[in-house]
């Protein structure tokens, strides 16, 4: 069983709460920001480059979080707020190029067709990339948080959690006047295990060993290994 919330809803909730606490919202770009959380950080991507895709669907609801892997692609399906089903995934550039960057053909496997039977897409596909799964956190000034700090494999389900955690750590470090090095150390301590675990899982998937090994690995262990260490007293 899983419970989900879209990034749109989460952003609105966080903004409304920040305003309630006295924050002031400015729509213009800051010339000298203290914290940057604007998405992926610049990084060279090896080929074949990976691209992410996402769209919302309407249709029958399910309380499960379903992950579908092929030899080169990944698709995740889960329900978010207001009865909407979120479908997102990763695919290599050459796979998407064959369909002119239309992800619909990637949903044509028997299992995905069954999962999305009677579902209808509510929006155009959002496609972003190239995506680099980077397990390194870096010393930066201004401080960076979320995907701007380091991108984690989407199949771990911790992207939003990591973004909130590193945003909290960045805000705390800024408010307390801590150095970028102290912030980087706190992020590494929190994220190191989940990034290393995600890298091992990614290697197992790429090598074809994941299906063989999965029955021998408890699901609870996979969940613990891919979650960040949260210590809010840092």
Question: How confident is the model over 23-50, as a mean pLDDT?
Answer: 76
Q: How confident is the model at residue 20 (pLDDT cuts 50, 70, 90)?
A: very high
Compute how many other C-beta atoms are within 10 angstroms of the C-beta atom of residue 103.
24
Helix (H, G, I), strand (E, B), or coil: what is residue 131? strand
Q: Where in the chain is the domain with CATH 3.30.9.10?
A: 50-131
The reported pLDDT for the residue numbered 53 is 93
- Specify the CATH number for 50-131; select among 3.40.640.10, 3.30.9.10, 3.40.50.300, 1.10.10.350: 3.30.9.10
The reported pLDDT for the residue numbered 46 is 65
pLDDT exceeds cutoff 70 at 137: no
The reported pLDDT for the residue numbered 69 is 81
Q: Report whether 91 contacts 72 (CB < 8 A).
A: yes
- Percent helix, strand and coil across the chain, each to the nearest 5: 40, 15, 40
Q: Report whether 165 contacts 234 (CB < 8 A).
A: no
The reported pLDDT for the residue numbered 57 is 96
Sign of CA pseudo-dihedral 22, 25, 26, 31: positive
């Amino acid at each position: 069983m899983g419970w989900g919330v879209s990034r749109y809803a989460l952003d609105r909730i966080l903004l409304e709460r920040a305003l309630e606490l006295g924050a002031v919202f400015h729509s213009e770009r800051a010339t000298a920001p203290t914290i940057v959380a604007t998405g992926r950080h610049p990084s060279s991507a090896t080929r074949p480059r990976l691209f992410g895709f996402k769209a919302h669907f309407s249709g029958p609801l399910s309380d499960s979080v379903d992950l579908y892997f092929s030899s080169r692609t990944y698709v995740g399906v889960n329900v978010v707020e207001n009865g909407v089903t979120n479908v997102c995934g990763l695919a290599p550039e050459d796979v998407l190029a064959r369909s002119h960057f239309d992800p619909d053909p990637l949903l044509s496997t028997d299992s995905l067709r069954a999962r999305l039977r009677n579902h209808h897409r509510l929006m155009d596909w959002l496609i972003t990339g190239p995506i680099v799964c980077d397990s390194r956190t870096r010393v930066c000034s201004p401080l960076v948080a979320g995907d701007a700090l380091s991108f984690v494999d989407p199949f771990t389900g911790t992207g939003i959690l990591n973004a909130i955690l590193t945003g909290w750590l960045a805000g705390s470090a800024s408010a307390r006047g801590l150095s970028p090095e102290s912030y980087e150390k706190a992020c590494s301590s929190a994220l190191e295990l989940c990034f290393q675990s995600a890298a091992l899982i990614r290697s197992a998937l790429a090598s074809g060993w994941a299906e063989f090994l999965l029955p021998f690995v408890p699901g609870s262990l996979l969940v613990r290994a891919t979650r960040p260490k949260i210590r809010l007293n840092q």
